[in-house]
Structure 1
Amino acid sequence: MRIAQIAPLFESVPPRLYGGTERVVSWLTEELIRQGHQVTLFASGDSITSAELVPCAPRALRLDPNVRDALPHQMIMLDKVRERADEFDILHFHTDYLHVPLFPSERVRTLTTLHGRQDLPDHMPFYRRFADMPLVSISNAQRSPLPGANFVATVYHGLPLDLHIPSYNPKGGYLAFLGRISPEKRPDRAIAIARAAGLPLKIAAKVDKADDAYFRCVIAPMLNEPGIEFIGEINESAKSEFLGEAAALLFPIDWPEPFGLVMIEAMAFGTPVLAFRCGSVPEIVEDGLTGRIVSDVDEAVRAIPGLLKLDRKGVRARCEERFSSARMAAEYGRIYQRMLRRLPTPSSRDRHSLRVRAPSTDRAPEAPPTAT
């Protein structure tokens, strides 16, 4: 198939530092090519890919000091997609819904993977207006606030299994927090858990401008506590040592997490995950097998000893079974094929208009029950 992958412009594909969506787009693009598809990637010009790259901004917008407004750059990208749309069988967008009103005539071969939270009231009228837009959720929990939207499937993220070498005998002896400093990610909980458990905590995270006040007023004073080390934002190579040598990953979120990429990145190293019961967490973490799922800080502290005894080889094995990029790309490939089978024939396109289908129930399988 001839597939266009349209990525956000905020980070390169893959990102130099922090970035979830663009990293997933990179893994998906490379695996689709490996599986024999012809892929064109619309992304920032500093992206690195085996696909044909259509640069839509000179560099990642977040790292470009000259960028003040992202919207003009995004509109340029959408216009480049429009110019070349006839070259592709499938247009696969990862840009939320900015493109939707611009491609009404292409909606039968346009797929949109939603990467963010979908429980905000502002989203509801949009999805009612564009109820025929084919959507993919990245967890069943993500789609639950939008029962009337046209979700055609849930596809869990996956990573290349050769990307990280598992570490079955870590020597770090510390707990890890990796991601973004923000109120919903709750690094304060991570600090409280580590202090109560008597274990060191290393925090590798970026601080967005929007969260600078939270970092300065809430988190920075806590970094002076014994055993707490703030590393800052790290790149992919540094992540290998950071997660691989950690005793466990703390994921103490306080929001409806759509997926939580760092959880499967940790699992790829064999590193177990302690996560709070929010959003996608019960779909990603298998309690008692790849980590522990808890509801508050006290329960988290009590779970630490058992968490550290989990079999890291078992954690890695479940990651291989459930969260590979090969599995992810194959699932998307099947969705593309279903979409192409529904395309009208050239002789009938002008005679028949698209009819809105009922929302799909093609949800991702729930994680199998495990011992707690």
Structure 2
Amino acid sequence: MRIAQVAPLFEAVPPKLYGGTERVVSWLTEELVRQGHEVTLFASGDSKTSARLIPCAPQALRLAGVKDTLAPHVFMVERVLRMASEFDVIHFHIDYLHLPLMRRTKISYLTTLHGRLDLPEMFPFYKEFREAPFVSISNAQRRPLPFLNWIGTVYHGLPADLYRPVYEPGKYLAFLGRISPEKRPDRAIELAERVGIKLLIAAKVDKADEEYFKEVIKPRLKSPWVEFIGEITEKEKQEFLGEALALLMLIDWPEPFGLVMIEANACGTPVIAWRCGSVPEIIEDGRNGFIVESMEEAERAVEGLSGLSRRECRRVFEEHFTAERMAREYLALYESLRMREVPLWRKAA
């Protein structure tokens, strides 16, 4: 099958540092190529892929310090449409920018929505484009917009050999990702202090969250139970997650998926997660981690970690969250779009 993957330009594919969506696009693209499909990737020029790369910006916009990020994305959509006849299906990962144009074509396409959908301004916008074919990354993600034309839910997956499972007990609690109010690193710090176990924080601080970091988190880094490492690379994740006693995911927002949870499980590391968003779809309470709803429950979860099997954590990953499974499910959706007698676009009134 001739498939186009259209990635955000904020990070390279795969990203050099933080970048969940771009990382998933990379894993999907490489697996589709491995399975013998003809894949074209629209992404930043510093991306690395075995697919055909169509560079739509010289390098990742975040690292290049580009101020107007909209213009490069509009340019990319134009390039995709110019080349549309070369593809059997176009898979967009750029939210909604392409929707007004795609509804006026007969091109087979779908859009995976990677972010939160509960912001008030999204409701009228997506109601206008409710006929477009969308894919969710969890069933929880759909709840704010149940009226959309959801053609499937495909959980993220990563290569089975990307991380090596570590079955020896871990040494510390881990927080990995982004410093922001909704990620609740303050809860992770509080839990570490309650149970008296070292917490390592490997996270980036976006400009939008600098004030939160400075006023709320930085003063608490003086705790003897906390060590702030900063943003880490993909290669550094193996050691960071593999040697952790547990990953803390004590979030306070409707997490659409939470890629770090399956990365931890791939390393054999259990997850202690707050019951929010997609968490109950990823974590089987008592099998690959614990789901909690209070700090007291989180404390008991830490105490119960010795009763969890790190081999079982890895087994859950292998059963449900590999790139091979993700690609297989997307291919089924691609085929279903190609087989439709009536394309999914909105006819002019």
Identical-pair percentage: 63
d(CA) in 1 for partners of 2:312, 2:341: 43
Q: 2:63 maps to what in 1?
A: 63
Give the match for residue 36 of structure 1. Answer: 36
CA distance in 1, matches of 2:236, 2:307: 25
* Map 1:264-275 → 2, pairs under 5 A: 264-275=262-273
Equivalent-residue separation in structure 2 for 1:326 and 1:13 (angstroms)? 18
Match of 2:171 in 1: 173
Match of 1:284 in 2: 282
Q: Distance in 2 between matches of 1:125 and 1:142?
A: 17
Distance in 1 between residues matched to 2:25 and 2:103, nearest whole Å: 23
The equivalent residue for 1:47 is: 47
- CA shift, 1:101, in A, is 0.6
Over aligned residue pairs, what C-alpha RMSD do you find?
Answer: 1.3
Q: Is the alpha carbon distance of 1:337 and 1:273 closer, same or farther for their aligned partners in structure 2, counting shifts above 3 Å? A: same
* Aligned residue type for 1:130: F
CA contact (8 A) 2:7 2:22 kept: yes
Supply the distance in 1 between the matched residues of 2:46 and 2:216 (Cα, whole angstroms): 35
* Post-superposition offset of 1:138: 0.2
Give the aligned partner of residue 323 of structure 2. 325
Counterpart of 1:153 in structure 2 is: 152
Contact persistence 2:104–2:346 (CA under 8 A): no
The secondary structure found in structure 1 opposite 2:176 is strand
Q: Which residue of 2 is the match for residue 247 of structure 1?
A: 245
Structure 1 residue 130, shift from structure 2 partner: 1.1
3-state SS of the aligned residue for 1:330?
Answer: helix
Give 1:1-372 correspondences, 5 Å limit.
1-65=1-65, 67-106=66-105, 109-170=108-169, 172-343=170-341
Offset at residue 13 of structure 1 (A): 0.3
Amino acid at match of 1:189: R
TM-score relative to the length of structure 2: 0.97
Structure 1 residues 270-317: Cα deviation after superposition (integer angstroms, max 9, x where no partner): 000000000000000000000000001121012111124310001101
2: CA distance, partners of 1:165 / 1:96: 33
CA separation of 1:108 and 1:296: change in aligned 2, threshold 3 A:
farther
Q: How far, CA to CA, are the matches of 2:273 and 2:5 in structure 1?
A: 31
Distance 1:81 1:297 in 2: 48
Instruction: Determine if contact 1:109/1:343 at 8 Å carries over to the other structure.
Output: no
Aligned to 1:369: none
Q: 1:21 to 1:112 in 2, by over 3 A?
A: same
Does the 8 Å CA contact 1:247/1:308 hold for their aligned counterparts?
Answer: no
Aligned equivalent of 1:370: none
Cα pair 1:116 1:258 within 8 Å, conserved: yes
Q: Within 2, Cα distance between the matches of 1:127 and 1:108?
A: 20
**What's the offset of the Cα at 1:354?**
5.2
Alpha-carbon distance between aligned partners in 2 of 1:95 and 1:199, rounded to the nearest angstrom: 40
Q: Deviations over 1:298-353 (max 9, x none)?
A: 21012111124310001101100000100000000000000000045xxxx9xxx9
SS of 2:244's equivalent in the other structure is coil
Q: Aligned partners of 2:197, 2:283: CA distance in 1, in Å?
A: 22
The whole-number CA distance in structure 2 between the counterparts of 1:143 and 1:250 is 25
Structure 1 counterpart of 2:108, one-letter code:
R
Structure 2's unaligned 5+ residue stretches are none
Match for 2:172: what amino acid? Y
Counterparts in 2 of 1:92 and 1:267: CA distance versus 1, 3 Å: same
Number of aligned residue pairs: give it: 347
Partners of 1:106 and 1:247 in 2: CA distance = 51
Following TM superposition, the consecutive aligned residue runs of length 4 or more in structure 1 with deviations greater than 3 angstroms are: 105-108, 353-356
AA aligned opposite 1:146: L
Indicate if the aligned counterparts of 1:272 and 1:308 stay in contact, CA closer than 8 A. Answer: no
- CA drift of 1:106 comes to 3.4
Task: Tell me how far apart the structure 2 counterparts of residues 355 and 123 of structure 1 sit (CA, whole Å).
Answer: 19
SS of residue in 2 equivalent to 1:169: coil
Conserved? CA contact 2:104–2:345, under 8 Å: no
Hey, what's the Cα distance between the residues in 2 that align with 1:38 and 1:328?
Answer: 17
Looking at structure 1, the residues matched to 246 and 62 of structure 2 have their Cα atoms a distance apart, in angstroms, of: 30
